[in-house]
Amino acid sequence: LQNMANQIAKTTQSLTTAADMRETTQMLMQPNSNWEEYLTPAPLSIAIMGELVFISSCQDFSINKNPPEGGFKYIRYPNSFRACLMQVCNSGWQAFNEAHNNMDQIRIHTAAVPDYMKSAVNILFNASDEVIKNLLPCQLDSINDIAEQCVNLAEGVEKKYQDVIHQIQELLEACVNAEHFYGEELENVKRKLEEAKLREQTSRQLKERSKKAMDDLSKELDNAQDAYKSAMDSIPSG
């Protein structure tokens, strides 16, 4: 313990100026100085999903045409693309809201750490070995408890966002699969339309030929009737 106290004292003495302390603090806080870059995309993503829901409201469709084996694990409403988007939007909002609440809890918990650190340093420098042995573990345990609580809160937020990521990934896979299925279905429809057009064209040609044949036959019949009438008229009556 005495060696630890000497090491802390030596480290403290090395920070001789306020500039050194500011530089050290800036270096330690640098990984956490761009939190806004991580938080800004969350509400932006929710706004984008809202726009997608608005776009999909014109015409809804199913992405359940060719579901994966075992069914969907995260999507609850595969028969409605609009409902899937709403599910992702709601899950994203819940994740962002939990992140907001948990970060506030982390802020409250970590606010108590400096007091525990001051008490621990004060015990190390001013207390006897017996007091250090009895009191220092309590201060360190309190700091450890706070750290564990913060880790649990952070992991809870991570799990929420992982659920949203899984939903989006499954939705994207289902959309690509549905696009392929609808593409094949569209090709089949186009092929059937082409076949129907060919049948219609063939039927029209047959109809035209039949009409022409009927007209020719009618003319021949008229000519035959005229010839028959002429022949009958040319026969002497006596």
pLDDT tens digits along 43-99 = 677 677 677 767 667 777 888 877 888 888 998 988 888 888 888 888 888 888 888
pLDDT tens digits along 134-146 = 888 888 889 899 8
> Long-range contacts: 49-55, Cβ < 8 Å, 24+?
49/85, 49/88, 49/89, 49/92, 50/89, 52/85, 53/82, 53/85, 53/86, 53/89
If you average pLDDT over residues 125-136, what whole number do you get? 82
Residue 4 predicted with pLDDT over 90? no
Quote the pTM value: 0.58
User: 75 exposed, middle or buried (CB, 10 Å; 0-12, 13-18, 19+)?
Assistant: buried
The string over 115-136, giving b where at least 16 C-beta atoms fall within 10 Å of a residue's C-beta and e elsewhere, is ebeebbbebbeebeeeebeebb
Residue 109 predicted with pLDDT over 50? yes
On average, the pLDDT of the chain sits at 75
Helix (H, G, I), strand (E, B) or coil at 73: coil
Residue 113 predicted with pLDDT over 80? yes
Q: Is 32 or 66 the better-scoring residue by pLDDT? A: 66
